């Protein structure tokens, strides 16, 4: 339902902005809350439970409920986490229910923000929505078309969210809406498709493919969002470490060996594992470890933002975070158990299968 544009409130001239953050107790949300408070904003934490930070106005609410309007009654900016970088939790939901929930959340938050007179809605999704394709320019422009080919899975869910935001811009002209799209997120407690890729015994590579690896530390995302909340930026904003790493550089930094497969064999294996329920992610997700989806944070750079973490440092942090973790069917297991199963992320699952086949061949030769 359309809402009437409300007068823009200029609280900035009267003092700090009041910024509400959804999922404020999550691993990503807690970092956002801390950074926004440090930057001088009054922070409102929206969640079903209160966090431990004392400088936050905790308002317990279900963001799919219309009652969220009341929680936003005195708020200037809303930061909504469309993606909280928690793969295990996402995979615990049935795919249809997960997408339905994400859609309800963004619809409810958008409508409530417009009805409450909020000036600015910031929604965090992912640079994955651009799609990983062989013909992608490196880097992609922030306003590039969304060419993700996924019809199911987490990336497809986020594309749906982005499409709803585009419609909301015309339905609620009095509400400024910004999509913030980080590269592969890295940081304490984060669990993503990319981090699971590095939990396999070897790194999967596809013959003839040239991936470009780019990361975004969650603290850099937080400082970027703080700038988006204060400044006039375009409707689409990328956040990432500058540049990218080659596959050879990733292998050198990680110290991990690779296992190479033909694209057809890898996709066939991934599809088979997905079909029998071993891997909950679609085979199309192999694209994100095969083709580039590098972005350039130009809009933030114009306002003086620079990432504190480069790609090499971010990768090292990712590797330290997953140390000792091995994924089997989206659950953490011990190393000795990991060898007999398939990993939670599709690329890691195929790498496990390929590594097992490689080891069998070596044993036969011996």
Tens digit of pLDDT for each residue in 106-115? 999 999 999 9
3-state secondary structure the chain: CCCCCCCCCCHHHCCCCEEEEECCCCHHHHHHHHHHHHCCCEEEEEECCCCCCCCEEEEECCCCCCCHHHHCCCCCEEEEECCCCEHHHHHHCCHHHHHHHHHHHHHHHHHHHHHHCCCEEEEECCHHHHCCCCCCCCCECCCCCCCCCCCCCHHHHHHHHHHHHHHHHHHCCCCEEEEEEECEEECCCCECHHHHHCCCCCEEEECCCCCCECEEEHHHHHHHHHHHHHCCCCCEEEECCCCCECHHHHHHHHCCCEEEECHHHHHHHHHHHHHCCCCCCCHHHHHHHCCCCCECCHHHHHCCCCCCCCHHHHHHHHHHHCCCCEEECCEEECHHHHCCCCCCCHHHHHHHHHHHHHHHHHHHHC
pLDDT in tens, 183-210: 999 999 999 989 988 988 889 889 999 9
- Percent of the chain scored above 70 by pLDDT? 84
Least confident range of 129-133, 269-273, 357-361: 357-361
Round the average pLDDT of the chain to a whole number and report it: 86
Confidence of residue 353 (pLDDT cuts 50, 70, 90): low
- pLDDT at residue 344 greater than cutoff 60: no
Q: What is the pLDDT of residue 282?
A: 77
Q: What is the pLDDT of residue 340?
A: 31
- Tell me what the mean pLDDT of segment 218-224 comes to: 98
Lowest-pLDDT range of 70-74, 87-91, 175-179: 87-91
pLDDT tens digits, one per residue of 80-111: 999 989 988 998 899 999 999 999 999 999 99
Contacts of 144 (CB under 8 A, 6+ apart): 130
Distance of CA 123 to the CA centre of its chain: 11
Q: What is the arithmetic mean of pLDDT over 202-227?
A: 95
What pLDDT was estimated at residue 352? 60
pLDDT at 345: 61
Tell me, what's the pLDDT at 166? 97
Q: Which residue has 């929206």 as its token pair?
A: 46
Q: What is the pLDDT of residues 160-169, one digit of tens each?
A: 999 999 999 9
pLDDT of residue 295: 98
Task: Enumerate domains of the chain plus CATH numbers.
Answer: 11-198+212-256+292-323 (3.40.50.720)
- Judged against a pLDDT cut of 70, whether residue 338 lies above it is answered with no
Asked if 288 and 132 count as a contact pair (C-beta separation under 8 A), the reply is yes
The band of 362, judged by pLDDT with boundaries at 50, 70 and 90, is very low
Structure confidence at residue 325 as a pLDDT band (50, 70, 90)? low
pLDDT of residue 341: 35
Q: In sequence order, what are the beta bridge partners of 47? A: 60
The predicted-structure confidence for 255-299, as pLDDT tens digits, reads as follows: 998 888 888 888 888 788 777 766 667 778 889 989 999 999 999
Residue 327 has pLDDT above 50, yes or no: no
Considering the chain, what percentage of its residues have pLDDT values greater than 90?
A: 66
Q: What local confidence, expressed as pLDDT, does residue 152 receive?
A: 87
Q: Indicate if the pLDDT at residue 130 is higher than 80.
A: yes
pLDDT at site 364? 52
pLDDT value at residue 366: 54
Q: What is the pLDDT, as a whole number, of residue 15?
A: 62
Distance of CA 33 to the CA centre of its chain: 17
């Amino acid at each position: 339902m359309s809402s009437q544009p409300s007068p823009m409130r200029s609280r900035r001239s009267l003092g700090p902005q009041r910024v509400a953050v959804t999922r404020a107790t999550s691993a990503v949300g807690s970092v956002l809350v801390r950074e926004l408070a440090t930057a001088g904003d009054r922070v409102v934490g929206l969640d079903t439970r209160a966090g431990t930070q004392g400088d936050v106005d905790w308002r317990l609410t279900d963001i799919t409920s219309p009652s969220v309007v009341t929680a936003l009654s005195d708020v200037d900016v809303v930061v909504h986490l469309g993606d909280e970088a928690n793969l295990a939790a996402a995979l615990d939901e049935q795919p249809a229910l997960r997408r339905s929930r994400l859609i309800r959340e963004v619809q409810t938050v958008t409508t409530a923000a417009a009805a409450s007179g909020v000036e600015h809605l910031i929604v965090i999704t992912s640079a994955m929505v651009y799609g990983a394709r062989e013909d992608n320019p490196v880097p992609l422009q922030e306003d590039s078309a969304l060419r993700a080919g996924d019809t199911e899975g987490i990336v497809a869910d986020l594309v749906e969210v982005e499409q709803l935001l585009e419609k909301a811009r015309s339905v609620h002209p009095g509400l400024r809406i910004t999509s913030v799209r980080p590269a592969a997120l890295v940081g304490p407690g984060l669990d993503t498709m990319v981090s699971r890729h590095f939990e396999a015994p070897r790194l999967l590579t596809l013959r003839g493919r040239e991936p470009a690896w780019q990361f975004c530390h969650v603290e850099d995302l937080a400082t970027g969002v703080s700038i988006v909340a204060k400044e006039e930026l375009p409707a689409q904003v990328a956040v990432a470490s500058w540049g990218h790493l080659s596959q050879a550089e990733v292998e050198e930094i990680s110290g991990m060996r690779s296992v190479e497969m033909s694209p057809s064999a890898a996709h066939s294996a991934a599809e088979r594992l997905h079909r029998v329920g071993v891997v909950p992610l679609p085979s199309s997700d192999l694209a994100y470890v095969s083709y580039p989806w590098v972005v350039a944070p130009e809009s933030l750079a114009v306002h003086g933002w620079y990432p504190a973490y480069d790609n090499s440092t971010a990768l090292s942090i990712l590797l330290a975070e997953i140390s000792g973790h091995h994924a089997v069917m989206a659950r953490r297991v011990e190393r000795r158990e990991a060898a007999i199963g398939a990993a939670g992320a599709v690329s890691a699952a195929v790498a496990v299968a390929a590594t097992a086949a490689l080891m069998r061949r070596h044993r036969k030769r011996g």
